[in-house]
Amino acid sequence: MGAGEPRFGVLGPLLIEVDGRPMPPPGSGVVRGLLGVLLLAGGRSLTAEHLIELVWADRAERTGRGPVQAAVSRLRDWLGRLPGGGPPVEYDSGGYRLVLRADAVDAGRFRALVLRAATTSDPATRCEMLDAALTLRRGPVLADLVSVDRAGSLMREAEDAVHRAAVAFAEAAIAAGRPGSAIPRLTVLAEEQPLDEELQAVLIELMSVDGRPADALRHHQKVRERITGEIGVEPGARVQRAYLTVLARDRDHGPGPLVETTVPPPAQLPPGIADFTGRDAEADLLARTLDVTGAPVVTAVSGPGGVGKTVLALHVAHRLAARFPGGQLYADLGAELSEPADPSRVLGGFLAALGIAGPVVPEALEERTALFRSLLAGRRVLIVLDNASSEGQVRPLLPGSPGSAVIVTSRAHLAGLESARPVELEVFGAHEATGLLAQIAGADRIAAEPEAAAEIARLCAYVPLAVRIAGARLAGRRHWSLAYLATRLGDEHRRLDELSAGDLAIRAGFAVSYSRLPADTRRLFRLLGLLDVTDFAGWVAAALLDLPVDQAQAHLEALVDSQLLDLGSSDPAGGLRYRCHDLVRLYARERAREEDSASVQAAALTRAFGGWLALSERAAELVPGPCYAAIHGDAPRWRLPSALTDTTLRDPAAWFDAEWTALVAAAGQACELGLDEFAWDLAACLEKYFDVRCMTVEWRETHERALQLCRSAGNRRGEAVLLRGLLEVTTWNTTAPSGTAMTTLRERSLRLLHMFEELGEPRGMADALVNCAWGLVAEGQADEALAAAERALTLAREHGHLGGQARARHVMGIACAGSARIEAAIDHLTRALGLARELGNPRFEATAMQFLGAAHWEAGRIDTGHDLLVDSLVMCHARGDRYAEVFSLLYLAKLYAGLGDARARPTAEAVLSVSRRYGMRHHLADSLKVLGDLDMVDGRFASATLRLEESVLVWRSRGWSSFLAATLRSLGHAHAGTGESESAAKAWTEALTLFEELSDTTSAAEVSALLADTCAVPPCR
């Protein structure tokens, strides 16, 4: 540029320079704003209307063309007074534009450098060009012009260009091998935009590649705390991928993550055996087999029962755990059960351990396997699959990419397991067996009686499990001599004849301990074998024996001492949980069939199921969730003393966390045994817990299995209660691509109403009527919905169903709000809130606050609505209630959008992210609508079209007419904005039909006018 020519800066505060000397900007804020946006436009013409929106943003509706013309005139005068004369402001058919060279403005020089960088193949050169471009940035675009519309497309384009250049700079710096050169500049940008997840992720990656993993992890923690604190959701996939990349890159250079993370690497290995002995060669072989690179390594440890397959696998897994910083996963595949573990359910547990749970987990086995393998890609994870039944059970549980390793144990050889490296175990030799005996009973005792020790080992057939049991007997009874135990084992009446090989040797090992147990302890052992649960609390033994808990505890300790039971983790009340080894359980079940009558076995199972039912129905009362009437059946309960019940259920949600797998197993076993009363009641007691934990797959599967039994048994009460629960889970979490969920809700609720009416259950009738009202609201039948809800309210009042009253008031508020009776809606929702508080249900209290806040906002009481929504958000977040929390965020996003508040977009995007993750279809569709409308405000009509088209698809599956109509209206605007008038007319035509069906005359008239303008011949149908 020539001497004396002015240069301008917009990539930061407005800057004017002549010959390197800064010049004062125009004194008028309006003229400064006008100059800034014209410079930012880069020579493009801006219409008077556009200038009004940009410069007079806060009073655009009251500003006409006159002030624009006056401001342009003043700007021309000011430019004319610049040394050498400033650039002219010209007017053409497109509006006003500033005529000057591109390099006279820092934004023009910035664009030129970025363009040159994009065409450069050399990473180092590209890095230098992008660094030079970003050097021109002095801060946010036009940072000192506070009155300019910062949400407008002009400003967003400039900021987006800087954002893209920063990301490209980071990528080029990494490619050029100098990531540290980009960190200072990216740090500044990341601090200015703390909620920009892509910038934060790029900075984390730069620190990691620069050899600063601790800084990268600390920055991730800082970003996570900022995002969860301000938005109330976890960082998105981009930040999480960056975090996982840091861990993967740093796995061989340190002890692991340096900061606490949301989902720590899983560490599921059961405790190893401290006295491991006799398998050193096999352990070394297995370790060498696993210590390779390339494709995922799979080893299959096989051998007869009791030879120590699990002990070996766990010993080696603990020994190698540090080599697998991605974590260790463990599953008992239950080969001995009549129904071995379903690989789909096992994958569900693995995915939960890796941070993926709830509705986002796919249902199909193939999809779960694909997701599992995707999560393991790039990680080093050790997987132990214990007690496998077949190759088909194992294959879906194997990783698909290098880095991870698998140890499979099985009685079968699993020869069909492709690429598996076999490790076959046989029984101990005499030396190894006596060595194990010495480890357990004491080397001094073995040395004192070597011949007796050898005889004990021989009588145990050198089977490690049998030897271990014998050693435990000796260790627990120091006064016994080894010769004395050898004599006992030599008695054929004290051990099975077939002690010599195979499964018979295992049976003999169990028999040694079992035969010496007191009668009641043996009885407990047999009865424990009847249960299908993998672990259990101590009170279960009391229920099986029908004894006080402290007396049953002594029998459990005896079983642990004899190694017939293993200790597991502690339960929420501090009590121990127990695990029964699979082979031990088989033996116990065999003994029960031999020694106990069918009636004795049935009575024991009835007491155990009754204990779970008594505790779960009490715990369900204390878990906040859906306010359905607690309807139970006639199955007999086995109750703990009230004080012990209170202690056990001190934290009911934590109790469910520990017990839900046992409850599901008990409900499933009740189904197998045809015990319909237990099956449906246990399933129903899990509803509220499954709801607050978003465990919709488990909810639906448990209910459907029990429902099938109830129907075959003619159990109408159980069928009705289970159908009620299934309606809740399938209506609000359906992922079907087509159909009308809300219409289905209404139709099935009517059938449910008749069922409860036949049963003489008015509280259930009230619940069904409220569900009918929801379906009617969705179909636009507000008066019919109010009538159904009024009837539900009456029934609930008459029969003391406080939760039914709260739900009826709630849906009445929704019906009134949807039919423009907003003050009546507020009255109903206020009453619903009071009832929720009286009920003591914080979840429904938060729900009522959400809808009440939305209603106040609709009524124009913005501050009241905002406060209620924020309060509900705090309540939901404190309880970890994702579903309810997202609703608060959704309506906050709507409120912010209505106010033009910049928080609208990040809030709506947070809702969209969580809704996709947890399968929340209603919230997904609504957040897409909000974001589509925001895109149109920013002039991004193509983006808006994509979002709104997806929202329409989801609303069609939901069957909610008013939401569908409103979204179609917005979609028409988006199509019109892209010049697709035919598509716009099609969307508006459908919206008009819906508005007319809903009797929404105001909206119908608005859409009719839009069609008239578009089609010229209204209505364009």
Structural element, H or E, at residue 409 = strand 405-410
Highest mean pLDDT among 275-279, 510-514, 963-967: 963-967
473-502 b/e (C-beta count within 10 Å ≥ 16 → b): bbbeeeeeebeebbebbeeeeebbeebeee
Instruction: List the one residue out of 239, 14, 52, 259 whose CA is nearest residue 139.
Output: 14
The C-alpha atoms of residue 908 and residue 924 are separated, in whole angstroms, by 10
Question: What pLDDT is stored for residue 499 in this prediction?
Answer: 31
| Residue where the block lists tokens 């040395």 | 447
150 has a pLDDT exceeding 60: yes
Sorting pLDDT into bands at 50, 70 and 90, what band is 725? Answer: very high
318 has a pLDDT exceeding 60: yes
246 has a pLDDT exceeding 80: no
The C-alpha atoms of residue 966 and residue 584 are separated, in whole angstroms, by 63
Residue 518 main-chain phi, psi, to 5 deg: -60, 160
Mean pLDDT, rounded, for 639-645: 93
Low-confidence winner among 449-453, 586-590, 948-952, 975-979 (lowest mean pLDDT): 586-590
The C-alpha atoms of residue 892 and residue 903 are separated, in whole angstroms, by 9
| Residue where the block lists tokens 């144990």 | 409
Task: Write out pLDDT tens, residues 587-625.
Answer: 788 889 899 999 999 999 999 999 999 999 999 999 888
Percent of the chain whose predicted confidence (pLDDT) is above 90: 39
Structural element, H or E, at residue 91 = strand 89-92
Question: What pLDDT is stored for residue 467 in this prediction?
Answer: 83
Tokens of 801: 């169903």
Q: In which order are the strands placed within the sheet that holds 405-410?
A: 328-332, 382-388, 405-410, 297-302, 421-424
1017 has a pLDDT exceeding 70: no
Give 461 or 307, the one with higher predicted confidence.
307
Instruction: Report in angstroms the alpha-carbon separations of 108 from 11, 203, 222, 255, 724.
Output: 10, 26, 35, 49, 64
Highest mean pLDDT among 317-326, 352-361, 462-471: 317-326
Question: What pLDDT is stored for residue 498 in this prediction?
Answer: 28
Mean pLDDT, rounded, for 691-719: 92
Residue 95 main-chain phi, psi, to 5 deg: 130, -150
Give 615 or 876, the one with higher predicted confidence.
615
Give 110 or 513, the one with higher predicted confidence.
110
Task: Write out pLDDT tens, residues 94-134.
Answer: 788 888 888 889 999 999 998 888 888 888 999 999 999 99
79 has a pLDDT exceeding 90: no
Q: Which residues contact 94 (CB under 8 A, 6 or more apart)?
A: 44, 45, 47
Question: What pLDDT is stored for residue 286 in this prediction?
Answer: 86
Q: Which residues contact 121 (CB under 8 A, 6 or more apart)?
A: none
Q: In which order are the strands placed within the sheet that holds 15-18?
A: 6-9, 15-18, 21-22
Sorting pLDDT into bands at 50, 70 and 90, what band is 808? Answer: very high
Question: What pLDDT is stored for residue 760 in this prediction?
Answer: 96
Question: What pLDDT is stored for residue 536 in this prediction?
Answer: 94
703 has a pLDDT exceeding 90: yes
Tokens of 53: 């929106």
Instruction: Report in angstroms the alpha-carbon separations of 736 from 298, 731, 862.
Output: 37, 10, 36
Mean pLDDT, rounded, for 181-195: 89
Highest mean pLDDT among 237-246, 561-570, 876-885, 957-966: 957-966
Question: What pLDDT is stored for residue 479 in this prediction?
Answer: 83
Tokens of 420: 């598996």
Low-confidence winner among 685-689, 762-766, 1009-1013 (lowest mean pLDDT): 1009-1013
> What string of DSSP letters covers 570-622?
EPTTS-EEEE--HHHHHHHHHHHHHHS-HHHHHHHHHHHHHHHHHHHHHHHHH
Q: Which residues pair with 535 in a beta bridge?
A: 579
328 in Cβ contact with 384 (< 8 Å): yes
Mean pLDDT of the chain: 85
Mean pLDDT, rounded, for 993-1005: 88
Give 943 or 463, the one with higher predicted confidence.
943
Task: Write out pLDDT tens, residues 386-416.
Answer: 988 888 999 999 988 888 899 999 877 787 8
1004 in Cβ contact with 996 (< 8 Å): yes
254 has a pLDDT exceeding 60: no
Structural element, H or E, at residue 107 = helix 106-118
Sorting pLDDT into bands at 50, 70 and 90, what band is 495? Answer: very low
285 has a pLDDT exceeding 80: yes
The C-alpha atoms of residue 530 and residue 550 are separated, in whole angstroms, by 22
Question: What pLDDT is stored for residue 251 in this prediction?
Answer: 45
429 in Cβ contact with 408 (< 8 Å): no
Domains of the chain by start residue, with CATH: 1-193 (1.10.10.10), 279-424 (3.40.50.300), 430-508 (no CATH), 517-596 (1.10.10.10), 599-733 (no CATH), 903-1020 (1.25.40.10)
Give 1014 or 755, the one with higher predicted confidence.
755
477 in Cβ contact with 561 (< 8 Å): no
Q: Counting beta carbons within 10 angstroms of the beta carbon of residue 16, is it exposed (0 to 12), middle (13 to 18) or buried (19 or more)?
A: buried
Residues in the chain: 1021
Instruction: Report in angstroms the alpha-carbon separations of 244 from 84, 198, 262, 454.
Output: 57, 15, 12, 53
